[in-house]
Structure 1
């Protein structure tokens, strides 16, 4: 009986390890479409906002937010991507708004907000 239990444990343990490895690989590559464009645009936006500084840091994580309806055509929606950045002690949240057209990411809008307690 114990040999039978041991023979079942190995395939089960191996299956669990394989599933865990596949899940972590998917999580690492699961970035939103247009994420690379959003990081690049966030760098340019923050650079413009602070007047050019080589100490800008853009967080590599891009978070997809709820889509935004196109005000000119309610049948269309825009992808909203949030990127965080900082320079010295200043922290910023940037939201980049894209329209997906075939394989292209068309920038439709952007906003930047500095975190501050006033």
Structure 2
């Protein structure tokens, strides 16, 4: 019984150590999402606003079903900052190989209004 628990613990430790070592390949539209994030912040706020920045780290947060048809959209998340405010932006890209067809976008301020 003890040998099984040691083997199981060893397998768990090996999986944990191997996980971070495997680098996730960036989404092909990650650069496009960062570019659109800058434009989206500029659209919602004055372009001359000081202290505007966009994080270059793009996170793939899954997929959503298209409103029509059977297709799905990849959802990429980018964070933007204006002074002390943080904004989470999602960009929805059609799953068409070799293209970055932007199908939708959203921006939400990360704050507690209550």
The structure in which a higher percent of residues are strand is 1
Structure 1 length-normalised TM: 0.71
Residues 45-60 of structure 1 aligned to structure 2 (within 5 Å): 45-52=40-47, 53=49, 55-60=51-56
CA contact (8 A) 2:60 2:75 kept: yes
Match of 1:14 in 2: none
Superposed CA deviations along residues 43-67 of structure 1, whole A, max 9, x for unmatched, are: 1001111121353111111010120
Paired residue total: 94
Match of 2:72 in 1: 77
The structure in which a higher percent of residues are helix is 1
Residues 13-28 of structure 1 aligned to structure 2 (within 5 Å): 27=23
Gaps of 5+ in 1: 1-19
Q: Is 2:28 aligned against 1:33?
A: yes
* Equivalent position SS for 1:65: strand
> Of the candidates 84, 94, 108, which is equivalent to residue 103 of structure 2?
108
> Of the candidates 61, 64, 77, which is equivalent to residue 60 of structure 2?
64
Superposed CA deviations along residues 15-62 of structure 1, whole A, max 9, x for unmatched, are: xxxxx9xx86x62x7212210000000010011111213531111110
* Equivalent position SS for 2:32: helix
Structure 2 length-normalised TM: 0.74
Larger radius of gyration: 1
